[in-house]
Amino acid sequence: MAGPSPVPDRTTDICPVGADIYLLPVTTRVPLKFGSETLTSVDCARVALRVEDRAGRGATGWGETPLSVQWVWPCSLPYDVRLRALHDFCRVLCREWPSFDCAGHPMEVGHAFLEERLPVLLQDFNRARPGTEMPWLAALVCCSAFDIALHDAYGVLHGVPVYETYNADWMNADLAHFLTSAPDAGVCFAGRYPQDFLARPAPDRLPVWHLVGGKDWIGPEEADGSAPDDGYPFLLRDWIRRDGLKCLKVKLRGDDPAWDYDRLTAVGRIAMEEGADWLSADFNCLVTDPAYVNGVLDRLLAEEPRIYRMLLYVEQPFPYELETHSIDVHSVSARKPLFMDESAHDWRVVRRGRELGWTGVALKTCKTQTGALLSLCWAKAHGMTLMVQDLTNPMLAQIPHVQLAAHAGTIMGVESNGMQFYPDASLPEAEVHPGLYTRRAGVLDRSTLSGPGFGYCLDRIRRVLPDPDFSAER
């Protein structure tokens, strides 16, 4: 950590004292392709985290994230092996969070857990599983539900929306305690807090991005008769018309430039015909040579200049381990804004990405609320642009995700595709927050969120939870 130590013993400080974790299985209505892997079901980890302040007052906060095995841990290991490991590590975290003896604002407690406890837990966990070591990204995703719940609990305990607490009135330490600027930037974090980098006021209506997955049918000629008869669209054109979509994110292969080009142009032509405005291209970490991306972009500029102009940014073409794949990407970002996604584990990796030529950061709450906010602040301070990307969030996971996008000040709205792949999973939440789970006129509407924490309104959401998978107390 950099900078001065936090001021101790603020009366609003909290400490975790208990936790429950629930595993909620969800099945997709159509498959979702991630690079070389395909998702057909997912277990969502929902966490209830109990906290107390220094006077012994208590509150419970909630967090949730999909344990998207294919995204967090792409490899040749069997799916069941990876999924069991994620479940097991979630149980480890459920035991460890209440025993973590640290009090403060959630930014401070969350940061301390990420810096001091999580690396040791992962190291110990992997030491017992030679040959099946879990990556850091997977550990972050498991941890994120607890960290989100920590932030929610703080707001609930104090009766305030948590985004109103990321400032000097509530936090013990400024950003200089957490962040170090790039040597060439002349940035100073002393006396600055996350609030200084958040959108004020945060908009209620956000342009929404639709995911065009690698297995999605974009035209009727691709249909093979296996589409579900459930009343929801399955062709791209029908989605655009139903939801008034203006922004389309296109999943590409990253190992077949001709297929990638054809996919981009096919989606782009439908977008133009149906009145959509923007595209993004996600190469899913499979590219190792910038010439691959440059070739696709240059051909697009030469042959389809209008579609090229619609391409707002390029997302994560290259392997996410920047420490071992330090690829100079300035030639790509000279053509289009280039956003880190899987790479952006924390602000230090964002700093390294900027050195290599990346120009933007795709934030995700599934990499922890604490980490997302610190990456947000570092990136904005250094002139990088932001997007908030979806891990196909259903149910409760959707709410902190959209809250982050509204407060981040993104390049263009928020990605949200849970309603494409498992819309019925979120019906109890959608009864209370319809604008978050239904895309209309190309936007999401978060205006129903109210009250403390993330504004879940849990007392009105009629979801019956199973028994906890694991529970622990201090």
- Residue 101 shares a structural domain with residue 31: yes
Domain region containing 102: 14-177
Residue 182 lies in a domain: no
- Residue 228 shares a structural domain with residue 113: no
**How many domains does one find in the chain?**
2
- Residue 157 shares a structural domain with residue 305: no
Backbone angles phi, psi at 444, to 5 degrees: -105, 150
Give the pLDDT band of residue 6 (cuts 50, 70, 90). Answer: low
Residue 470 lies in a domain: no
pLDDT, tens digit, 9 for 90 and up, residues 270-324: 999 999 999 999 998 889 999 999 999 999 999 999 999 999 999 999 987 887 8
Residue 184 lies in a domain: no
- Residue 34 shares a structural domain with residue 78: yes
Looking up residue 385, the CATH number of its domain turns out to be 3.20.20.120
- Residue 202 shares a structural domain with residue 133: no
Domain end among 148, 177, 206 = 177
- Residue 243 shares a structural domain with residue 134: no
- Residue 149 shares a structural domain with residue 206: no
- Looking at 27-36, 47-56, 125-134, 288-297, which range is the least confident one? 27-36
- Residue 255 shares a structural domain with residue 402: yes
Residue 5 lies in a domain: no
- Residue 50 shares a structural domain with residue 132: yes
pLDDT recorded at residue 2: 44
Reply yes or no on whether the pLDDT at 202 is more than 80.
yes
Looking at every residue in the chain, the average pLDDT score rounds to 95
- Residue 72 shares a structural domain with residue 213: no
Domain end among 177, 210, 225 = 177
Reply yes or no on whether the pLDDT at 7 is more than 70.
no
- Residue 404 shares a structural domain with residue 264: yes
Residue 423 lies in a domain: yes
Residue 155 lies in a domain: yes
Residue 474 lies in a domain: no
Residue 438 lies in a domain: yes
pLDDT, tens digit, 9 for 90 and up, residues 111-141: 999 999 999 999 999 999 999 999 999 999 9
Looking up residue 80, the CATH number of its domain turns out to be 3.30.390.10
Give the pLDDT band of residue 72 (cuts 50, 70, 90). Answer: very high
Domain end among 142, 177, 212 = 177
- Residue 305 shares a structural domain with residue 218: yes
